[in-house]
Amino acid sequence: MQYYECYSASYTSARGKFLAAAEESKGALRSFVHPDKTTPDGQPLAIDVARFGDPKAARQALFVSGTHGQEGFSGSAVQIGWMRAGGPSRLPKDLGVVLVHGLNPYGFAHFTRTTENNVDLNRNFIDRSAGAAPANPRYETLHEDLKIRDWTDEENARVDRAMAAFTEAHGRDALFDTLARGQYRHPDGLIFGGSDREWSNATLETIIQEMLSDAEKVAFIDWHTGIGDYGKPFFLCFNDAGGQLFARACDWWGKENVDGVRPHGMERPNYTGLVFQGVQRFLGNRQMCGAVIEFGTRGLGMRRVLRLDQWLRRQSDLEPDARATLQADMMDAFCPFDGQWRKDTLESGLKLTDQAIEGLAAW
């Protein structure tokens, strides 16, 4: 199997490969078509779900790609690769696997991290019945300074100075937490978690209600890119540290990889509204164990690229060649074009998938 049979150059190709591989491996397919958005060239957008094994089994795996739009190329490749490499035919008897492809299909197709409403889907799963959205008071002090007005070296230097001054006052862990945890007040800002539930959020709840209704034990992976060493996996397990489920994730993937690891060498931010937390809530008192698994790209260089993604979203009359040039830089940061990175992450993703399934089978 060649990596370019699993990686794709567009959302529509990725979707086609996913559906073809699922049919080939006799998966049950279900597509949730976006009600009113399309790809840039007018093709449908959908969250596609393929399921394998025993749908009634108490043990179910749930593997998600494309929460952060353009990061989906990597997770999609792992899902496609797992099917093409015969993963479904190797499943133990009393277990099911649910692959959710392109959870944020708009971002995937339009090469951006956020949804059709410019919402960071991985901050959108807060419990809105629990009262006001979480506050991020320090973000309030930075919001205006972080917003880039023009894509120039001078403007980027100005934003960098604002972040350096904040770091001087509060430290680099506080800056990371402020930039990453999520905020719910500024639709034109970074990591905006939305003022309501996104279509993708409600659709994931439907998928869990309909397809994991008999599940008692769920293994979960949400595939991402951007944190960790180049081409290497990085684990963010949000089960309670010190609890039994956390220990189980350590057993599956190695304690040294899961426990006490520091994203970009810093304290882990107090992320709010993660898909991981949404899945836990949708499952109620059923047990779920797993992780957000990232593949490393440009380290802290991603900060500049997150700004670029947001700036590109706001440009309606950018000269097409300038847009294509900047978009290529941004895409290469989220999913490097480097064939070696793609081979390494695919190989690693397949191994981590198998480890989760083996762990689930033994649970």
Binding site for Zn ion (CB under 5 A): 68, 71, 224
Q: Is the backbone of residue 284 left (phi > 0), alpha (psi -120 to 50) or beta?
A: left
**Closer residue to Zn ion (CB): 88 or 263:** 263
Q: What is the pairing mode between strands 59-64 and 44-53?
A: unpaired
**Closer residue to Zn ion (CB): 53 or 72:** 72
**Closer residue to Zn ion (CB): 23 or 229:** 229
CB 37 within 8 A of CB 102: no
To Zn ion, the closest distance from the beta carbon of 80 in angstroms equals 19
Q: What is the pairing mode between strands 287-296 and 95-101?
A: unpaired
To Zn ion, the closest distance from the beta carbon of 168 in angstroms equals 28
To Zn ion, the closest distance from the beta carbon of 27 in angstroms equals 25
To Zn ion, the closest distance from the beta carbon of 188 in angstroms equals 20
CA–CA distance, 269 with 263 (Å, rounded to integer) = 9
**Closer residue to Zn ion (CB): 116 or 222:** 222
Question: Which residue bears the tokens 């994730």?
Answer: 249
To Zn ion, the closest distance from the beta carbon of 222 in angstroms equals 8
**Closer residue to Zn ion (CB): 104 or 136:** 104
In order, the DSSP letters of 139-196 are HHHHHHHH--SSSSHHHHHHHHHHHHHHHHHH-HHHHHHHHHS-BSS-TTSTTB--SS
**Closer residue to Zn ion (CB): 34 or 68:** 68
To Zn ion, the closest distance from the beta carbon of 186 in angstroms equals 20
Q: How many whole angstroms from its chain centre is CA 160?
A: 26
Q: What is the pairing mode between strands 95-101 and 59-64?
A: parallel
